[in-house]
Amino acid sequence: MKILVVGAGSTGGYFGARLAQAGRDVTFLVRPARAARLREDGLRVISPHGDFSITPKLLTAGEIAGAFDAILLTVKSFALDAALEDIAPAVGAETMILPVLNGMKHMDAIASRFGAGPLLGGACKVATTLDGEGRIVQLMPLHELAYGEMNGETTTRILALDAVLQNAGFDARLSAVIEREMWEKWVLLASLGGINCLARGSIGAVAAAPGGTKFASAFLDECRAIATAAGHKPSAAVDEAARAVLTAAGSPMTSSMYRDLLAGQAVEADQIIGDFLARATALGVAAPLLAAAYVNLSVYQNSRR
């Protein structure tokens, strides 16, 4: 199976490197500057599971000569439109597109561009970042990729993809309820990002502040209420686990959105927070904390422009 990984940043680079290390046929679609660095230094991963480096197969926009069997789409939301144009020559009649972007807004964009046929659901759990040398640094041992047909069916194509993703150096999991899992992840990410960015601190720092735990729980409650109104109520077990994570005393946890904000980089405010707020408004669900976080992040985004 020929796999095109779109982006060789902290997420795509990590899962793509693991797949390539396991002998899968992986090609990375990257920007020219990233391609130049990878050709010179290789794709290097620093991980609790052991450091490694690969010599990746690379393409840049305009160099795709034919269709791929599967496309792992890992770009940030603000790079999605350009990425969809870049991958168009790689999308054939049998191509599967597996996006692992945050939120749900990207699903509509992909379906609008290529139709619903190629589209799979995907959700990853991994904490990675790029360091100053362009290496991918895995911050925690967790590295899970879940995927499935959006309607929950066990199709021939999803079984073929599952066979390729298994035993590739990370936890791969075929899910019959991938849409629910995507919403559950969105609830957690919107809550985590909103708490970090609005309070300007880690989960532990927020928990240590007067009223911090109550604030964090209230933020989760808002996001959970929106998902429930949309028909994707998180399970009790997921809700309990999320609440424990978001109110943990001494926790150094921060969202990638908050880390990007601190670094002065672009943030996925519209995808993770803004789209959630828009759905809350459409559903008639009150979300004052989410609205405050979006105002806060919008001010930051406007200042960058």
Range of the domain at 230: 181-304
**Structural domains counted in the chain:** 2
In the chain, the percentage of residues whose pLDDT exceeds 90 is 93
Question: Average pLDDT of the chain?
Answer: 95
Measured distance CA(153)–CA(202) in Å, rounded:
39
| One domain for residues 125 and 186 | no
Q: pLDDT tens digits, residue range 125-155?
A: 998 888 989 999 999 899 999 999 999 999 9
Q: Which two tokens stand for residue 201?
A: 């601190």
Q: In which band, very low, low, confident or very high, does the pLDDT at 305 lie, cut at 50, 70 and 90?
A: confident
Task: Please identify which of the residues 57, 185, 214, 233 carries the catalytic annotation.
Answer: 185
CATH of the domain at 250: 1.10.1040.10
Q: What pLDDT shows up at residue 234?
A: 92
* Closest by Cα among 153, 157, 143 to 1: 157
| One domain for residues 191 and 103 | no
Q: Which two tokens stand for residue 241?
A: 């686990």
Q: pLDDT tens digits, residue range 216-272?
A: 999 999 999 999 999 999 989 999 999 999 999 999 999 989 999 999 999 999 999
| One domain for residues 36 and 153 | yes
Contact 45, 136 (CB under 8 A): yes
Q: Is 185 a catalytic residue?
A: yes
Q: How far apart are the first and last CA of the chain?
A: 42
| One domain for residues 15 and 154 | yes
Measured distance CA(51)–CA(45) in Å, rounded:
6
| One domain for residues 159 and 212 | no
Q: In which band, very low, low, confident or very high, does the pLDDT at 30 lie, cut at 50, 70 and 90?
A: very high
| One domain for residues 53 and 164 | yes
Measured distance CA(214)–CA(175) in Å, rounded:
33
Q: In which band, very low, low, confident or very high, does the pLDDT at 77 lie, cut at 50, 70 and 90?
A: confident
Contact 44, 53 (CB under 8 A): yes
Higher pLDDT pick, 139 / 209: 209
Say which amino acid occupies 146. Answer: A
Q: In which band, very low, low, confident or very high, does the pLDDT at 289 lie, cut at 50, 70 and 90?
A: very high
Q: What pLDDT shows up at residue 78?
A: 86
- Among residues 176, 209, 238, the one where a domain terminates is 176
pTM: 0.91
Q: In which band, very low, low, confident or very high, does the pLDDT at 76 lie, cut at 50, 70 and 90?
A: confident
